[in-house]
Amino acid sequence: MHEISIVRTVFETLQETYPDKFERITKVQIEAGLLSNIQPILIQNAFEALIMEEPALADIELEVLLLPIIAHCEACDKDFEVVRHKFVCACGTPSKNIIQGEELQISQVEFLEK
């Protein structure tokens, strides 16, 4: 299950990025594009497993936002949402130019105020 390594990496990254404030993190938001093959429920389950190893993380809320696949059409110079894996613009032109949907990133971190 690669979700455990993803969640572990997220919290390692946060610890490296915020060494002085890591203990004050209350919420972490992750954005995952549909093409990243991330399932929010599996990420939550992996987070629960990580909490068993590291109980200090139990007070942190983890939220996973799924982002739709957005492609850009060169023919009409418009962005469109890919629905049912059909990479075809409303104008009828196919496009492989993905501008959203492959990412996996920490998008927001909230801290407890001192």
**Where are the domains positioned within the chain?**
2-68+100-111
For residue 113, the model assigns a pLDDT of: 84
C-alpha of 62 from chain center: 11
Instruction: Say which residue the tokens 């919420």 belong to.
Output: 27
pTM of the shown model? 0.85
Token pair recorded at residue 27: 């919420």
Token representation of residue 69: 């696949």
55-88: pLDDT as tens digits: 999 999 999 999 999 999 999 999 999 999 899 9
CATH of 2-68+100-111, one of 3.30.200.20, 2.40.30.10, 3.30.2320.50, 2.60.120.10: 3.30.2320.50
Q: Would you say the C-alpha torsion 47, 50, 55, 56 has a positive or negative sign?
A: negative
* Single-letter residue type at 41: I
Given a cut of 70, the residues of the chain with pLDDT beneath it are: 1
